[in-house]
């Protein structure tokens, strides 16, 4: 029987949720800000000697842009979001009795980290949203870099615990690995931000519009229909219900033409509202100093964007409670019904999948959502009436108690996945990774070597 070299070492990171059966697949435990990451290092040596191991809790984001789609090559970027390190060693624990047949010694060295609720920056001009933790995410196309041996996506946001031998009284030989890493699935609990200022994004949203109504396509107009709505409350994916939800209040105002005023009866109209959620994902190979937008994508070659829409759903409404608005634009109450517009509020319940990646922003990427609502009046001819509103997707565990394991939101994507692939859903997974793949120092010389944000 082969014996272990007396100076060899092996390191294994163990969490409390790990089962005794090492061959069994672990469920993905989702962590959030304020959670405690604790466990121990199982260190196996061939003999007793002094050593120290650096244990770190790290977060990083990787992006890439293709310049040769046929060969799946491109420019890559990596940014370290956070890094906390503690040192453990043989002086903290006595080894157990050596194993009977191999004469190996086993140390159990505990570690403990607390997931921060926000990041820290030494700069005073940083946008506050950059200081929020981003959720774990693996989005867009994949690049398996043959240059540095890393996986890049658009973007890939990872958190992990890493253990590396820092110092030993005997040189630990390479017959056994002396480092280990475990990925952490992190979904920060962040409450909804204030409503978005639409003036900063003039080309991305359409909160109001006006359409002309006709009986038939070639007939005369019977009036103008004005539609408007405000940003709804955020969708919280950490609810206990099967689907996340919110509500939109659409304000309708119909100004009839004088000729057809007596024939107009809005309270008899039936209407449909078709809605769907659009996601916009921005990724950059240069550090962002402001919130990305469509205008930035068009003017900055380092920033790109792709969007996807969810399946649409339709809400039907009949016999709305219309009323005459006697208050004129000058603030005067009219005594006659003549030329008075009709107004009503259309309440639209919105449902969405709980697998949506929460809204995020970091120095290399961002994810934003919008809600599109398409209104149609049955029996009338009109142009397309479609609003686009900002929509926040959050994971606010202060309002709800989510399950410990979010299986539907933790779909597997091995870190050694090779090739270019466009994912139709938001993929994230927790699994053991080879520390040869995770190389923390930034190798792209186009990015400054930030080590803490």
Residues 6+ apart with CB under 8 A from 380: 213, 214, 215, 222, 269
What is the separation, in whole angstroms, between the first and last Cα of the chain?
A: 51
Distance CA 283, CA 119 (A): 20
Distance CA 366, CA 50 (A): 45
Q: What is the pLDDT of residue 199?
A: 85
pLDDT above 70 coverage of the chain, percent: 73
195 token code pair: 């409503």
434 token code pair: 């080879």
Strand partners, 367: 281, 360
Bond preceding residue 205 cis, omega within 30 of 0: no
Q: Which residue has the higher pLDDT, 115 or 104?
A: 115
Q: Which residue has the higher pLDDT, 158 or 445?
A: 158
pLDDT above 90 coverage of the chain, percent: 36
Which 8-state DSSP code applies to residue 221?
A: E
Distance CA 438, CA 145 (A): 12
Tokens 């624990």 belong to residue? 93
- Does the reported pTM lie above 0.85? no
Contact in structure between 364 and 77 (CB atoms under 8 Å): yes
CA atoms within 13 A of residue 420's CA, in its CB half-sphere: 11
Helices and strands in the chain, H and E counts: 1, 25
Bond preceding residue 155 cis, omega within 30 of 0: yes
* 11-25, 106-120, 203-217, 403-417, range with the lowest pLDDT: 403-417
Strand partners, 190: none
Q: What is the pLDDT of residue 3?
A: 41
451 token code pair: 């080590």
Tell me the pLDDT tens digit for each residue of 341-377: 889 999 999 999 999 999 999 999 999 999 999 999 8
Distance CA 293, CA 281 (A): 10
Contact in structure between 320 and 285 (CB atoms under 8 Å): no
Contact in structure between 208 and 375 (CB atoms under 8 Å): no
Tell me the pLDDT tens digit for each residue of 167-205: 777 655 544 557 889 999 999 988 888 888 888 888 899
- DSSP, collapsed to helix, strand or coil, labels residue 294 as helix
Closest CA to 349 of 189, 241, 193, 209: 241
């Amino acid at each position: 029987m082969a014996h272990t070299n007396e100076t060899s070492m092996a390191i294994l990171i163990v969490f409390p949720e790990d089962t005794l059966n090492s061959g069994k697949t672990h469920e993905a435990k989702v962590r959030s800000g304020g959670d405690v990451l604790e466990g121990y290092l199982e260190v196996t040596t061939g003999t007793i000697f002094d050593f120290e191991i650096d244990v770190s809790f790290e977060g990083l984001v990787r992006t890439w842009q293709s310049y040769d789609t046929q060969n799946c090559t491109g420019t890559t970027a990596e940014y370290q979001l956070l890094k906390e390190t503690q040192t453990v060693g043989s002086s903290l624990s006595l080894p157990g009795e050596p194993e009977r047949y191999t004469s190996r010694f086993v140390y159990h060295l505990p570690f403990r980290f607390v997931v921060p609720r926000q990041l820290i920056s030494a700069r005073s001009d940083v946008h506050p949203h950059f200081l929020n933790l981003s959720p774990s995410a693996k989005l867009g196309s994949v690049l398996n870099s043959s240059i540095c041996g890393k996986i890049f996506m658009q973007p890939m946001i990872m958190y992990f615990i890493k253990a590396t031998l820092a110092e030993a009284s005997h040189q630990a030989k390479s017959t056994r690995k002396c480092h280990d890493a475990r990925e952490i699935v992190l979904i920060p609990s962040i409450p909804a931000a204030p409503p978005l200022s639409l003036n900063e994004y003039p080309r991305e949203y359409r909160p109001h519009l006006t359409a002309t109504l006709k009986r038939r396509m070639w007939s005369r107009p019977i009036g103008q229909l004005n539609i408007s709505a405000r940003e709804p409350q955020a969708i919280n994916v950490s609810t206990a219900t099967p689907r996340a939800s919110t509500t939109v209040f659409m304000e309708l105002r119909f100004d009839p033409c004088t000729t057809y005023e007596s024939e107009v009866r809005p309270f008899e109209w039936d209407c449909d509202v078709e809605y769907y959620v659009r996601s916009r994902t921005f990724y950059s190979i240069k550090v962002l100093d402001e919130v990305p937008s469509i205008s930035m994508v068009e003017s900055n070659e380092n920033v790109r964007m792709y969007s996807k829409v969810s399946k649409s759903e339709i809400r039907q409404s009949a016999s709305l409670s219309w009323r005459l608005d006697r208050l004129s634009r000058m603030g005067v109450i009219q005594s006659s019904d003549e030329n008075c517009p009709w107004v009503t509020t259309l309440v639209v319940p919105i449902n969405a999948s709980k697998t949506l990646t929460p809204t995020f922003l970091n120095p290399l990427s961002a994810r934003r959502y919008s809600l599109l609502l398409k209104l149609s009046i049955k029996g009338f001819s009109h142009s397309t009436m479609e609003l686009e509103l900002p929509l926040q997707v959050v994971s606010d565990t202060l309002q709800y108690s989510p399950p410990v394991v979010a299986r539907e939101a933790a779909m597997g994507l091995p870190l050694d996945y090779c090739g270019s692939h466009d994912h139709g859903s938001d993929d994230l997974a927790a699994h053991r990774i080879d520390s040869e793949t995770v190389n923390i120092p930034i190798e792209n010389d186009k990015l400054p070597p930030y080590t803490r944000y």
